[in-house]
Amino acid sequence: MEETKKLVDTVVKGIQEKKGQGITVIDLSNIDGAIARYFVICQGNTPTQVEAITDSVEETVRVECSEKPVHLIGLELAQWVAMDYTDVIVHIFVPELRSYYNIEHLWQDATITEIPDIE
């Protein structure tokens, strides 16, 4: 479990390096049937920033945790990218799609932590 928390912290660091906003960490570890232990959700203002955040997360996690995503989808359009690290799934949205899908509210019974934006 400690490795998973380090992975979450490293993902957040990668997001912050590219000024990702609205970082939300959802702890699903106590939810029966959840597909992962954690979701990390954030947004970039444009598809270009979404792509930069994705690259930063991938590189930061590779260097600091020696892990690569099992699956990475959505990079073609860079509107909603999902990175699957098995225990941690990272969602990187453009603002319109994040608002539309509102996946944070699917897990209201989970522990949700909002990470302050870096100025």
Q: What is the DSSP string of 14-78?
A: HHHHTT-EEEEEEE-TTSTT-SSSEEEEEE-SSHHHHHHHHHHHHHHHHHHH----SEEE-TTTT
CA 111 to CA 26: how far, in whole Å?
A: 6
pLDDT, tens digit, 9 for 90 and up, residues 64-105: 999 999 999 999 999 999 999 999 999 999 999 999 999 988
Sequence-ordered list of residues with C-beta below 8 angstroms from that of 28, at least 6 positions apart, any chain = 34, 35, 36, 37, 38, 39, 107, 110
DSSP assignment letter at 85:
-
CA 54 to CA 27: how far, in whole Å?
A: 21
The candidate with the shortest Cα–Cα distance to 44, out of 77, 89, 3, 8, is: 77
Side chain identity at residue 69, one-letter code:
P
Q: Which band of pLDDT confidence, cut at 50, 70 and 90, is reported for residue 31?
A: confident
- pTM of this prediction? 0.94
Question: pLDDT > 70: what percent of the chain?
Answer: 99
Average the pLDDT over 54-58 and give the result: 98
CA 108 to CA 119: how far, in whole Å?
A: 28
